[in-house]
Structure 1
Protein backbone atom coordinates (compact mmCIF):
# COMPACT_ATOMS: atom_id res chain seq x y z
CA UNK A 1 0.00 0.00 0.00
CA UNK A 2 2.96 2.34 0.52
CA UNK A 3 4.39 3.93 -2.57
CA UNK A 4 8.09 4.09 -3.22
CA UNK A 5 9.63 7.47 -2.52
CA UNK A 6 12.60 8.40 -4.67
CA UNK A 7 15.39 9.71 -2.50
CA UNK A 8 17.08 12.71 -4.11
CA UNK A 9 20.89 12.88 -4.20
CA UNK A 10 21.19 15.47 -1.41
CA UNK A 11 18.92 13.58 0.99
CA UNK A 12 20.65 10.35 0.00
CA UNK A 13 24.02 11.85 1.00
CA UNK A 14 22.60 13.22 4.26
CA UNK A 15 21.00 9.90 5.27
CA UNK A 16 24.19 8.06 4.39
CA UNK A 17 26.22 10.49 6.54
CA UNK A 18 23.87 9.93 9.50
CA UNK A 19 23.83 6.15 9.03
CA UNK A 20 27.63 5.98 8.73
CA UNK A 21 28.16 8.27 11.73
CA UNK A 22 25.96 6.06 13.92
CA UNK A 23 27.69 2.87 12.79
CA UNK A 24 31.10 4.52 13.22
CA UNK A 25 30.34 4.99 16.94
CA UNK A 26 29.06 1.41 17.21
CA UNK A 27 25.34 2.05 17.35
CA UNK A 28 23.34 -1.13 16.72
CA UNK A 29 20.33 -1.86 14.51
CA UNK A 30 20.47 1.42 12.59
CA UNK A 31 17.18 1.64 10.69
CA UNK A 32 16.01 4.27 8.22
CA UNK A 33 12.24 4.62 7.75
CA UNK A 34 10.80 6.48 4.76
CA UNK A 35 7.73 8.21 6.20
CA UNK A 36 6.90 10.26 3.12
CA UNK A 37 3.88 8.15 2.16
CA UNK A 38 2.48 7.89 5.70
CA UNK A 39 3.16 11.35 7.18
CA UNK A 40 2.42 14.84 5.97
CA UNK A 41 5.10 16.45 8.15
CA UNK A 42 8.07 14.04 8.26
CA UNK A 43 10.13 12.37 5.57
CA UNK A 44 12.58 10.10 7.41
CA UNK A 45 13.23 8.57 10.81
CA UNK A 46 16.64 7.16 11.59
CA UNK A 47 16.46 4.87 14.62
CA UNK A 48 19.57 3.49 16.32
CA UNK A 49 20.34 1.61 19.51
CA UNK A 50 23.14 2.70 21.84
CA UNK A 51 24.02 2.04 25.43
CA UNK A 52 23.22 4.80 27.90
CA UNK A 53 25.53 7.62 28.82
CA UNK A 54 28.85 7.93 27.04
CA UNK A 55 27.99 5.94 23.92
CA UNK A 56 24.68 7.76 23.46
CA UNK A 57 26.54 11.08 23.65
CA UNK A 58 29.34 9.90 21.33
CA UNK A 59 26.83 8.74 18.70
CA UNK A 60 24.89 12.00 19.00
CA UNK A 61 27.99 14.16 18.60
CA UNK A 62 29.28 12.18 15.61
CA UNK A 63 25.89 12.30 13.88
CA UNK A 64 25.62 16.05 14.49
CA UNK A 65 29.07 16.73 13.02
CA UNK A 66 28.69 14.46 9.97
CA UNK A 67 25.11 15.57 9.24
CA UNK A 68 26.04 19.25 9.35
CA UNK A 69 29.04 18.54 7.09
CA UNK A 70 26.53 16.93 4.68
CA UNK A 71 24.49 20.15 4.60
CA UNK A 72 21.87 19.61 7.30
CA UNK A 73 21.13 22.41 9.78
CA UNK A 74 22.23 22.20 13.41
CA UNK A 75 19.78 19.76 15.00
CA UNK A 76 17.41 20.54 17.81
CA UNK A 77 17.81 17.94 20.53
CA UNK A 78 14.96 16.69 22.69
CA UNK A 79 15.93 15.03 25.91
CA UNK A 80 18.61 14.08 26.34
CA UNK A 81 17.87 11.34 28.80
CA UNK A 82 19.74 8.19 29.67
CA UNK A 83 17.30 6.19 27.49
CA UNK A 84 16.24 8.22 24.47
CA UNK A 85 17.54 11.20 22.58
CA UNK A 86 15.80 12.80 19.62
CA UNK A 87 17.64 14.92 17.04
CA UNK A 88 15.52 16.89 14.56
CA UNK A 89 17.24 18.19 11.42
CA UNK A 90 14.61 20.60 10.18
CA UNK A 91 11.36 18.86 9.39
CA UNK A 92 12.64 16.18 7.08
CA UNK A 93 14.96 13.92 9.10
CA UNK A 94 14.52 12.94 12.74
CA UNK A 95 17.06 10.71 14.49
CA UNK A 96 16.07 8.61 17.50
CA UNK A 97 18.94 7.28 19.62
CA UNK A 98 17.59 4.82 22.15
CA UNK A 99 18.76 2.21 24.59
CA UNK A 100 17.68 -1.32 23.71
CA UNK A 101 15.06 -1.27 26.50
CA UNK A 102 13.56 2.04 25.34
CA UNK A 103 13.55 0.90 21.72
CA UNK A 104 11.70 -2.31 22.58
CA UNK A 105 9.25 -0.48 24.85
CA UNK A 106 8.35 2.37 22.46
CA UNK A 107 8.54 0.20 19.30
CA UNK A 108 8.72 3.05 16.79
CA UNK A 109 9.12 0.57 13.95
CA UNK A 110 5.83 -1.03 15.02
CA UNK A 111 4.06 2.32 15.36
CA UNK A 112 5.26 3.31 11.88
CA UNK A 113 4.87 -0.16 10.36
CA UNK A 114 3.28 1.34 7.22
CA UNK A 115 6.52 3.19 6.47
CA UNK A 116 9.02 1.73 4.04
CA UNK A 117 12.30 0.54 5.53
CA UNK A 118 15.18 1.94 3.49
CA UNK A 119 17.85 -0.71 3.23
CA UNK A 120 21.40 0.47 3.74
CA UNK A 121 22.29 -0.94 0.32
CA UNK A 122 19.92 1.62 -1.17
CA UNK A 123 21.81 4.37 0.63
CA UNK A 124 25.22 2.99 -0.27
CA UNK A 125 24.56 2.95 -4.05
Structure 2
Protein backbone atom coordinates (compact mmCIF):
# COMPACT_ATOMS: atom_id res chain seq x y z
CA UNK A 1 0.00 0.00 0.00
CA UNK A 2 2.85 2.38 0.80
CA UNK A 3 4.39 1.82 -2.61
CA UNK A 4 1.10 2.68 -4.29
CA UNK A 5 0.83 5.91 -2.34
CA UNK A 6 4.43 6.79 -3.18
CA UNK A 7 3.84 6.23 -6.90
CA UNK A 8 0.57 8.17 -6.75
CA UNK A 9 2.23 11.09 -4.97
CA UNK A 10 5.04 11.07 -7.53
CA UNK A 11 2.61 11.14 -10.43
CA UNK A 12 0.59 13.94 -8.86
CA UNK A 13 3.82 15.85 -8.24
CA UNK A 14 4.89 15.49 -11.87
CA UNK A 15 1.47 16.66 -13.09
CA UNK A 16 1.49 19.64 -10.71
CA UNK A 17 5.02 20.62 -11.73
CA UNK A 18 4.08 20.27 -15.40
CA UNK A 19 1.00 22.44 -14.85
CA UNK A 20 3.04 25.07 -13.03
CA UNK A 21 5.59 25.03 -15.83
CA UNK A 22 2.81 25.65 -18.34
CA UNK A 23 1.28 28.50 -16.31
CA UNK A 24 4.59 30.31 -15.78
CA UNK A 25 7.31 30.67 -18.37
CA UNK A 26 9.65 27.73 -18.93
CA UNK A 27 12.67 29.91 -18.13
CA UNK A 28 11.32 30.74 -14.67
CA UNK A 29 10.49 27.06 -14.12
CA UNK A 30 14.03 26.04 -15.06
CA UNK A 31 15.52 28.63 -12.72
CA UNK A 32 13.12 27.66 -9.92
CA UNK A 33 14.02 23.99 -10.35
CA UNK A 34 17.74 24.63 -10.35
CA UNK A 35 17.51 26.76 -7.19
CA UNK A 36 15.52 24.03 -5.43
CA UNK A 37 18.04 21.45 -6.63
CA UNK A 38 20.94 23.54 -5.33
CA UNK A 39 19.17 24.00 -1.99
CA UNK A 40 18.65 20.25 -1.75
CA UNK A 41 22.34 19.66 -2.39
CA UNK A 42 23.33 22.27 0.20
CA UNK A 43 21.12 20.56 2.77
CA UNK A 44 21.52 16.93 1.76
CA UNK A 45 25.27 16.55 1.27
CA UNK A 46 26.42 17.90 4.66
CA UNK A 47 23.50 16.24 6.45
CA UNK A 48 24.20 12.91 4.76
CA UNK A 49 27.88 13.12 5.60
CA UNK A 50 27.20 13.91 9.24
CA UNK A 51 24.51 11.20 9.40
CA UNK A 52 27.14 8.64 8.40
CA UNK A 53 29.56 9.99 11.03
CA UNK A 54 26.94 9.88 13.81
CA UNK A 55 25.76 6.41 12.77
CA UNK A 56 29.35 5.15 12.67
CA UNK A 57 30.04 6.50 16.15
CA UNK A 58 26.86 4.93 17.53
CA UNK A 59 27.49 1.50 16.02
CA UNK A 60 31.27 1.32 16.48
CA UNK A 61 30.85 1.08 20.26
CA UNK A 62 29.04 -2.22 20.05
CA UNK A 63 30.04 -4.00 16.84
CA UNK A 64 32.48 -4.26 13.99
CA UNK A 65 30.83 -2.60 11.03
CA UNK A 66 30.44 -4.60 7.82
CA UNK A 67 32.28 -3.36 4.75
CA UNK A 68 29.02 -2.26 3.09
CA UNK A 69 27.78 -0.15 6.01
CA UNK A 70 28.25 3.21 4.27
CA UNK A 71 26.36 2.13 1.11
CA UNK A 72 23.30 0.70 2.88
CA UNK A 73 23.27 2.33 6.31
CA UNK A 74 19.50 2.09 6.79
CA UNK A 75 19.83 -1.68 7.18
CA UNK A 76 21.78 -1.02 10.39
CA UNK A 77 19.11 1.12 12.05
CA UNK A 78 17.49 -1.89 13.69
CA UNK A 79 20.74 -2.61 15.54
CA UNK A 80 20.45 0.70 17.42
CA UNK A 81 18.45 1.13 20.59
CA UNK A 82 15.89 3.96 20.62
CA UNK A 83 18.25 6.03 22.77
CA UNK A 84 21.15 5.44 20.36
CA UNK A 85 18.95 6.28 17.38
CA UNK A 86 17.92 9.69 18.81
CA UNK A 87 21.05 11.58 17.65
CA UNK A 88 21.03 9.73 14.30
CA UNK A 89 17.41 10.45 13.33
CA UNK A 90 17.60 14.25 12.74
CA UNK A 91 20.51 13.83 10.34
CA UNK A 92 18.77 10.94 8.60
CA UNK A 93 15.65 13.07 8.12
CA UNK A 94 17.65 16.13 7.00
CA UNK A 95 19.45 14.04 4.40
CA UNK A 96 16.13 12.64 3.18
CA UNK A 97 14.70 16.16 2.91
CA UNK A 98 17.73 17.21 0.87
CA UNK A 99 17.24 14.21 -1.41
CA UNK A 100 13.55 15.01 -1.94
CA UNK A 101 14.39 18.65 -2.71
CA UNK A 102 16.96 17.48 -5.27
CA UNK A 103 14.39 15.23 -6.92
CA UNK A 104 11.69 17.93 -6.99
CA UNK A 105 14.11 20.55 -8.28
CA UNK A 106 15.44 18.23 -10.96
CA UNK A 107 11.95 17.30 -12.11
CA UNK A 108 10.93 20.97 -12.16
CA UNK A 109 13.97 21.94 -14.23
CA UNK A 110 13.42 19.05 -16.64
CA UNK A 111 9.74 19.97 -16.96
CA UNK A 112 10.69 23.56 -17.75
CA UNK A 113 13.25 22.43 -20.31
CA UNK A 114 10.80 20.01 -21.92
CA UNK A 115 8.03 22.56 -22.18
CA UNK A 116 10.45 25.18 -23.48
CA UNK A 117 11.71 22.74 -26.09
CA UNK A 118 8.28 21.79 -27.42
CA UNK A 119 6.33 25.03 -27.06
CA UNK A 120 6.36 27.59 -29.85
Taking structure 2 as the reference length, the TM-score comes to 0.29
- Which structure is higher in strand share? 1
Taking structure 1 as the reference length, the TM-score comes to 0.28
- Which structure is higher in helix share? 2
Bigger RCO (CA 8 Å, 6+ sep): 2
